[in-house]
Structure 1
């Protein structure tokens, strides 16, 4: 480590210690705004949240801080916040930080031990809805930026810095892709930092390198025009409940691989290096099973549990139903049945192609006399950052400096708008999150570990100097 970096780290940590109290007071103000995008009656709070953030960003020095409307006049969406602070060096890379300011619904009767919109500090943790997901992780960037400026003596960031903080992520980001396309010129960047993820654990800092995509579908099956007597007609006419069960059973082979033709054709396979890095993580499968409330693991043959949930595509039967469900028996052939399916997709897969394959596969398997309809609940695309990308290496170095230890690499099994950011803006997506699994996203008593929140700010403080050394024209 050079003397220059040692001096910067000392200055950053001194600044963070000095500003800790004020930072938490301001974060508490924002957390008190109940910006629940899923509840129409909270629309005013979501707008208040956006306006609060824009005002705060302007007060710390962003020359541009704007509230952006989303949707249309006929179908308005929740407001997003955009801010921009150019670097002094016109050749510096441009970095966009993404997060969201809306939160999940919460009420004391859900099981909170405090008012979810009255932040409570207890034993080094801050409890409130949005403390980790995602206001806390957005707001640490404001402290990190100020620490970066104070420690380096700069009057502007070392990179051209932009922020985009949406207000509808917890409602599925219905207007986000359109917003990106409409504002692409203003959002142009060389890299995107997503701070809406977590890391392995407080003793094992990690950087996420990818998220899976999602395809949600429902198959409705219809047979007889009404429920009919199973003694008079059973065994002689097609039964939609039986056909639903046959489809569900045929979706995987004996090695738990998805049987849709072409499903794996374009999958980007795990590299040997990724498999090694995943295997080095301190994974306790028994503990993981307890969090899953399951009694055993099961999945695609030849892959570990972490590989299955992070890097392999899946098909899940989310629900199956039809016919009589009441007490006792009712001897019928039901008139209708349904399957609810979700597919988690990985880099290289396309949701539209998977849906087309499913439609063909279902049509080929159903007997005459069974009508069917397949409806889509929407999709998101997978996103993956190459391990050798120089911007990723910059992020890993910055986090390593903050945590003073080596930093591992992970993926996440869930889905989000990262692929929209990558595809519309044409920039690699990097994930900087400090939340840990015990933070309880979407659950009662959501919290954030305060020391980790400050480590996030410290990582951000170093990141801009690290990324300033990168020139996108140099390639990967």
Structure 2
């Protein structure tokens, strides 16, 4: 932590404390709008959500605020230039849409009637992602107040999506269409979380994904197994052999070339990941499982975030009903997905998978592949970059910490598309907690985390400004 920060810290913290009630009132109003992007009947509500946030940006002081239409749901763009012509440009990404609330009977309160429960606020979208967006608006105000500026120390842009909870089907086209307006030196993602209230952390990687259905066809009709069994190829047997061939005895994927481009963890990354608390019994209880398994030589956290995987999502063929039906089935199916890590790319891995499948389909069986799109690329935040160090400084200052811990997410999101189109370094500033129950009934957010998030955002703009454009590129 820098020696000059304590007084600034007190100014930022005091401002956030003094104005936290205003943020809470805004959050209460916004959470009452049921902007569920995946439900067509909520289309007008998603627009109302976009309009509400656009107006909140204007009230904060953003001179340029626009609602950008897409083929689906609208996004919000806001821009606030710095007075410094050499200031770096920062783009903040988040989303204003929310998940459906089913099963509604499991909610303890109305999901769109925000409820204060001690230190918590319960409502759909409280953590994912409305609370995390509003802490940024409070953070901008705290940054201005603590520095005595009329404009931010950086050129600040917001791009707030309206379809993230529906899979972002129109987001990459929007990025490409609006590319000149989105030009930036660094991207801040604010749709993630931390390990705990007393464990400040930041996401440093997200895995990509490829998914494919393998359809196997043998005889042109189901055959009597007593008459033909053992004499003609069985597609169900072929499917079983295919999925069994995916891994060796050490849990490694056996597809040739699968690991060629994998970026291995550094010793420092492994050391920091080892400091992340992990309770094996709790993990097994949460997963309703009875044993751990995976690639030999790696911890569970490393397997979940830093290693590529091949999973069998489904397998079937032939008769599935009660009793016996003695057949050689005509068809079988295997549904496979592959999580990718840094430096792997779907366009390289996809043909390797295709070749592996073709090699493991026996004569007399034909196969057809159906891919789910072109796949999602992984994204990585190198920990040795100036952008990550600036983020670390800001979070440490806000949380009175000595260091932040890295986390790696096993899931996939639109972040890879942002990196692909904008080509700027990326960092993650999110303050959700593992028990926030996002996507589930009774979603909540811990209010103190939102206030710390606002402090961290206020410090981050000063950290980025100190680096300047050239410093962020070094």
Give the TM-score, by structure 2 length. Answer: 0.97
Per the alignment, residue 361 of structure 1 pairs with 356
Instruction: Tell which deviates more after alignment, 284-293 or 432-441.
Output: 284-293
Per the alignment, residue 164 of structure 1 pairs with 159
Per the alignment, residue 386 of structure 1 pairs with 382
Per the alignment, residue 293 of structure 1 pairs with 288
Q: Partners in 2 of 1:2 and 1:336 — Cα distance?
A: 66
Pairing partner for 1:339 from 328, 334, 342: 334
5 Å matches for 1:136-155? 136-155=131-150
Say if 2:307 is the partner of 1:312: yes
Q: Partners in 2 of 1:6 and 1:266 — Cα distance?
A: 44
Q: Partners in 1 of 2:213 and 2:103 — Cα distance?
A: 34
Pairing partner for 1:104 from 99, 107, 130: 99
Per the alignment, residue 460 of structure 1 pairs with 457
SS in 2 for 1:164: strand
Q: Partners in 1 of 2:364 and 2:36 — Cα distance?
A: 46
- 1:369 CA displacement: 2.2
Per the alignment, residue 239 of structure 2 pairs with 244
Say if 2:406 is the partner of 1:409: yes
Per the alignment, residue 420 of structure 1 pairs with 417
Q: Once the two structures are superposed, what CA deviation does each residue of 1:270-329 show, in whole Å capped at 9, x if it has no partner? A: 111100110112222221222222111100011111110010000100111111111222
Per the alignment, residue 17 of structure 1 pairs with 17
Say if 2:367 is the partner of 1:372: yes
Per the alignment, residue 81 of structure 1 pairs with 76
1:94–1:189 Cα contact (<8 Å) kept = yes
Q: Partners in 1 of 2:2 and 2:424 — Cα distance?
A: 31
Gaps of 5+ in 2: none
Q: Partners in 2 of 1:334 and 1:2 — Cα distance?
A: 69
SS in 1 for 2:37: coil
5 Å matches for 1:224-263? 224-263=219-258
2:387–2:426 Cα contact (<8 Å) kept = no
Say if 2:21 is the partner of 1:26: no
Per the alignment, residue 90 of structure 2 pairs with 95
Instruction: Tell which deviates more after alignment, 12-21 or 437-446.
Output: 12-21
- 1:5 CA displacement: 2.2
2:284–2:290 Cα contact (<8 Å) kept = yes
Q: Partners in 1 of 2:302 and 2:352 — Cα distance?
A: 24
Q: Partners in 2 of 1:2 and 1:366 — Cα distance?
A: 61
Per the alignment, residue 73 of structure 1 pairs with none
Q: Partners in 2 of 1:356 and 1:366 — Cα distance?
A: 16
Per the alignment, residue 207 of structure 1 pairs with 202
1:433–1:456 Cα contact (<8 Å) kept = yes
SS in 2 for 1:469: helix
SS in 2 for 1:143: helix
Per the alignment, residue 43 of structure 2 pairs with 43
2:397–2:456 Cα contact (<8 Å) kept = yes
Per the alignment, residue 469 of structure 2 pairs with 472
SS in 2 for 1:241: helix
Pair 1:229–1:2, CA change in 2 (3 A)? closer
- 1:108 CA displacement: 5.8
Q: Partners in 2 of 1:155 and 1:230 — Cα distance?
A: 81
- 1:24 CA displacement: 0.9
Say if 2:391 is the partner of 1:395: yes
Per the alignment, residue 302 of structure 1 pairs with 297
Give the TM-score, by structure 1 length. Answer: 0.97
- 1:354 CA displacement: 1.5
- 1:3 CA displacement: 7.1
